[in-house]
Amino acid sequence: MNSVSCSQIRQVEKLKEHWPGVFTSKAENEVSWFQPYPETSIEFLELFNLPHDANIIDIGGGESQFVDALLERGFKNIWLLDISATALDHVKKRLGDKADQVHFVVSDVVAFKPEVQFDFWHDRAAFHFLTSEEQINKYVSIAEGAIRPNGHLILGTFSDKGPTKCSGLEIKQYTQASMSSRFEKAFERIKCIEVEHSTPFNTTQFFLFCSFKKK
Ligand SMILES: C[S@@+](CC[C@H](N)C(=O)[O-])C[C@H]1O[C@@H](n2cnc3c(N)ncnc32)[C@H](O)[C@@H]1O
């Protein structure tokens, strides 16, 4: 094993401790990314008229209410992936009996080995934590393999007007051009919008949301 892979292992171990710590020490609405309702994500979802049996995954879903909104809409094949088992346990508790309808996956997204192909891949504020070329390329290649032809990918990251850190960790900001260039080999860009997110602390964060269609 070379020194690069050793330092990467240390970094993943650090993240595996960081995120459960966040979800143990803070309530759902005490984190900057909290939204009472995932409005932008649902607006993108509704553009595509997905059938109720569509395979939908929320990457780095944390404690987001996106899964609740999907269940309310009658979607039956939902996956929720996060590096933090603590976040997923909180969601299971919140959903009660409805949790049985969701596939929970505790994994680092760049180690994810999907067993199905997805019609809709959603990621709000997880992709931007990948800062090395190797991690970003892995994510892109996993998404390329996991999303079926004509399936959709929705990514929300901090924009070039947004913060440079989140939860004390470095993030990578994106513009429409830099995000598109990462995914253009296998995806056609549909549209990008900039969204102002109001945090629970009365501050504003600029996000970029882009939708893509798998070629
Ligand atoms: C800023 S929070 C966003 C949570 C949620 N998407 C939302 O919009 O409320 C980032 C989430 O990504 C998860 N995460 C960070 N890095 C990850 C990785 N490498 N693999 C999987 N999940 C990750 C964290 O545990 C956390 O739940």
Mean pLDDT of 77-81: 98
Question: Measured in angstroms, how far is the CA atom of residue 53 from the centroid of ligand 1?
Answer: 25
Confidence at 2, pLDDT banded by 50, 70, 90 = very low
Residue 3 in tokens: 């020194």
Rounded to the nearest whole angstrom, what is the distance from the C-alpha of residue 178 to the centroid of ligand 1? 21
CA distance readout (Å), 103 to 92, 121, 154: 10, 14, 19
DSSP 55-109: EEEEET-TT-THHHHHHHTT--EEEEEES-HHHHHHHHHHHGGGGGGEEEEE--G
The residue range of the domain holding 74 is: 3-214
CATH number at residue 194: 3.40.50.150
Instruction: Compute the mean pLDDT over every residue in the chain, rounded to the nearest whole number.
Output: 95
Residue 26 phi, psi dihedral angles, 5° rounding: -125, 145
Residue nearest to atom 5 of ligand 1 (CA): 61
- Contact by Cβ (8 Å): 131, 182: no
Give the total number of structural domains in the chain.
Answer: 1
Per-residue pLDDT band for 5 (boundaries 50, 70, 90) equals low
End-to-end CA distance of the chain: 37
Is the pLDDT at 38 greater than 70, yes or no?
Answer: yes
